[in-house]
Amino acid sequence: MRERLKTYFGYDTFRPYQQEIIDTVLKGEDVLVLLPTGGGKSLCYQLPALIREGITLVISPLIALMKDQVDALNANGIPASYLNSSLSAQEIQTVQQQALSGKLKLLYLAPERLGILGFDSFLLQLNVRLIAIDEAHCVSEWGHDFRPDYRRLVQLRTLFPTVNMIALTATATTRVRQDIVRYLQMPQPRVFLSSFNRPNLFYSVQPKQQAFQQLVTLLSRHKNESVIIYCFSRQDTEDLVSDLYTQGFRALAYHAGLEKQQRTRAQEAFIRDEVHIIVATIAFGMGIDKPDVRLIVHMDLPKTIEGYYQETGRAGRDGLSSECVLFYTYADKRKQDYFIAQIQDELEQAQAQKKLSDMIGYCESTGCRRQYVLRYFGEEWKESFCGTCDVCQAPSVELQDATVLSQKILSGVLRTGERFGAGYVCDVLRGSARDRVVENKHDRLSVYGIAKDVSRQEVMLSIDLLLRYGYLEKQLGEYPTLRVSGEGKKALTHREPILLPKIETGSVLKRAKKEKETDYDFELFTKLRQLRKQIADQQGVPPFVVFGDRSLQEMSRAYPQDTTAFSTIFGVGDTKLKQYGELFVSHIVEYVQEKGMSVTAPKKEVILLKKERIGSTIQKTKELIEKKYTLEQIANARGFVCSTIVQHIEQLVQMGAELDIEYLKPAPERIEKIKEAFVHTNSSALSPVKEFLGEEYSYDEIRLGRLFL
């Protein structure tokens, strides 16, 4: 298992629970997996698929997500494909033929495929050994993303009664977990419930005052990094994109009102780093698996904690530090209330209202944001301080005497009869001539205009603080109103001083970067990102399919000077080592030489550990070479692809092993062509030679031929 983990995925160790889950799957048991977004759920069925014979079916509701995962698997040398509505009839036929011929290890399916006449006949012809249900919460009406097509998945139990199933989700309350087990007919699954905590995410809630200026500050801080901004409506997304352009930010809108082709174009541009900012509707969402999103911004109030958790979960899937900011005003509740009122079923309506109240509780909480979210999902968070949310990271709050303005606000609420919201009270205090104020004769009150010298933003922020510190209370209802609490009346009556945090308008909390975020060579990291983008564009894949940011940061920290050292980098498996190793190493060496740097070699024990791992597997290849097996025969016997075997041979030659590989030498005329290409390109690297020779010569043949030159 560990050998394949490194060979195909480039990882040396498993994440929490992964190995136990994979062991259970390989034993033939049903499994329910609840891991946080970015916790490595996909590996829990992808690795067993490599170990078992036959094919693994993966059900996924998100077309774009399927494509991303299949691209990533193919880049790692794992044969996979997908069937969904984005393919033409000819493409579907081609994929089905690949599956029937046994060429695929994983086949991704949209759930609606099971409703197509005759599709079950195709499935029955496959040697299905595992069924994986991704986003399993979609089967439950109590989940935040119910999809009726997921109820069809019980058909898979009928078609393959002896095949075990793994259901995976990142967001599921106890009720949803029960529905998953019931509707997928998993009578006694092993349940693996990990923490919902995402320690690499920084959560903050900011008052929705001058939100656009705050957003501009945030985007400047995350320049050239991937950002998703969520808005309430389609029009909001379009308007925000337009406003961002005026500030020099290139962004694209993504919502259900766009033509399918436009959405696809926007998504592809974002995934391929052609545009760094996507503005999307909360309702429509984005089914992407982009690991390097560094900032998620909610311009409006989400309707549920589950939805918010999933949307923020699209940040930092690679485990690197990322930021989640929500701009909040209680007034946004009305937008959500309108849609909740359209729900006919009373129980469903009450459930939606409860979920919205929980979301408001998160925004208005004066305690740790992380603790609030985890407790919502039934996880007891024993720490009261996480250090990575705005509440916990805020320094000791600087209080100032806010008695004068606070007394004016409290008096304004009382004088208007405690029947109005914050905006109306603010209008009265600032002397607004709005029709409603005049009609109510509130322009005749003693409090009318007593705060006209104070900005509207400062008054509204002060009202928020008085609510937070208990001087004011909200009276909930269709139109929420303010009332003065017992504490507020006491302060007014006895003229007690009121101390509130110092108001800093239009500012976003500046969070300090952790030391480990900046302990790599940023200049080299930037150069490697550019190289990654060039390769990705040439291959027509997203940049993260080549290497993730975490891999590039590690390269920029370790400065690997040869392919052996490069192979120890996180995310470098055999296929990627073969494809990209020499190219990246050459750029790193060139950078080191340009800078005149003296790079310390990796620690000796790391190299020894690496050689020990490689040595055992290479020895088996060496034994088969001594028996004069062909490349294909060795690959089949070892369960590897030919490129891995060629890499083993190259390493054996470099180590000075006594080895007769003459029988593997390409034909004389082809060796001559390979030699001419190396001379012509004046390089020992594979990529320029491959480009010169064209499709007639594979990387494997060029690499093998190079050993004889």
pLDDT classification of 518: cutoffs 50, 70, 90: low
- Residue 292 located in a structural domain: yes
- Angstrom distance (rounded) from CA 463 to CA 457: 10
Same domain, 641 and 595: yes
Residue 304 lies in a domain: yes
Specify the pLDDT at position 488.
92
Q: Residue 655: pLDDT band by 50, 70, 90 thresholds?
A: low
Rounded to two decimals, what is the model's pTM?
0.65
Same domain, 304 and 403: no
Summarised one tens digit per residue, pLDDT across range 472-506 is 987 765 566 899 999 999 999 999 999 887 765 54
Q: Which of 427, 196, 228 is nearest to 315 (CA)?
A: 228
Q: What is the CA radius of gyration of the chain?
A: 30
Query: Quick count: other Cβ atoms within 10 Å of Cβ 334?
Result: 13
216 and 72 within one domain: no
% of the chain with per-residue pLDDT over 90: 36
Instruction: State which residues form the domain around 237.
Output: 201-393
Pair 53, 71 in one domain: yes
What are 250-289's pLDDT values in tens digits? 999 998 888 888 888 888 889 889 999 999 987 555 566 7
- For residue 432, give the nearest of 422, 440, 441, 443 by alpha carbon: 443
276 found inside a domain: yes
pLDDT of 620 higher than 90: no
CA-based end-to-end distance of the chain: 36
> Which of the residue ranges 46-60, 478-492, 640-654 would you say has the lowest mean pLDDT?
640-654
CATH of the domain at 458: 1.10.10.10
The number of distinct structural domains making up the chain is: 4
Asked whether residue 124 is assigned to any structural domain, the reply reads yes
DSSP letter for each residue of 162-231 = TS-EEEEES---HHHHHHHHHHTT-SS-EEEE-----TTEEEEEEESSSHHHHHHHHHHHTTTSEEEEEE
Averaged pLDDT for residues 213-232: 93
**Are 144 and 6 within one domain?**
yes
Query: End of a domain among 193, 219, 239?
Result: 193
**Could you tell me which residue, 632 or 431, shows the higher pLDDT?**
431
Q: How confident is the model at residue 604 (pLDDT cuts 50, 70, 90)?
A: very low
Region 172-199: mean pLDDT is: 85
Q: What is the pLDDT of residues 129-152, one digit of tens each?
A: 999 999 888 888 766 667 888 888
What is the percent of the chain with per-residue pLDDT over 70, rounded to a whole number? 90
Q: What is the largest CA-CA distance in the chain?
A: 103
Q: Which of 425, 446, 196 is nearest to 308 (CA)?
A: 196
Extract the tokens encoding 282. Answer: 């909360």
Mind listing the pLDDT tens digit for each residue in 71-124?
A: 889 988 999 999 988 888 999 999 999 999 999 999 999 898 888 888 999 999
Q: Are residues 385 and 441 in the same domain?
A: no
- Pairing between strand 399-401 and 499-501? antiparallel
Query: Does the pLDDT of residue 516 top 60, yes or no?
Result: no
pLDDT of amino acid 87: 87
Residue 154 exposed, middle or buried by CB count within 10 Å (0-12, 13-18, 19+): middle
Instruction: Kindly state the average pLDDT of the residues 409-429.
Output: 93
- Residue where a domain stops, chosen among 467, 501, 535: 501
Let me know if residue 506 belongs to a domain: no
Q: Which two tokens stand for residue 275?
A: 């545009």
Residue 510 lies in a domain: no
pLDDT of residue 603: 38
Q: Can you give the CATH number for the domain in which 27 is found?
A: 3.40.50.300
Q: Are residues 253 and 184 in the same domain?
A: no
Amino acid at 119: F
Of the pLDDT bands very low, low, confident and very high (cuts 50, 70, 90), residue 327 is very high
111 in a domain, yes or no? yes
Higher-pLDDT residue of 683 and 316 is 316
CB atoms within 10 A of CB 598: 6
Residue 507 lies in a domain: no
Is 425 or 510 the better-scoring residue by pLDDT? 425
341-384: per-residue pLDDT in tens?
888 888 888 888 888 888 988 887 777 889 888 888 888 777 76
Q: 681 and 662 in one domain?
A: yes
Residues 522 and 496 grouped into a single domain:
no
C-alpha triplet 225, 227, 231: angle, nearest 5°: 165
pLDDT at 384: 66
Q: What are residue 407's phi and psi, to 5 degrees? A: -65, -40
Question: What is the pLDDT, as a whole number, of residue 386?
Answer: 81
Write down which residue in 328, 360, 393 finishes a domain.
393
Looking at the fold, whether 317 and 250 belong to one and the same domain comes out as: yes
pLDDT of residue 596: 80
Under 8 Å between Cβ of 205 and 392? no
Average of per-residue pLDDT values in the chain: 85
In terms of pLDDT, which residue wins out, 180 or 598?
A: 180
Query: Residue 534's domain is classified under what CATH number?
Result: 1.10.150.80
Judgement on whether residues 33 and 168 belong to the same structural domain of the protein: yes
pLDDT of residue 616: 53
**Is 66 or 241 the better-scoring residue by pLDDT?**
241
- Pair (65, 188) in one structural domain: yes
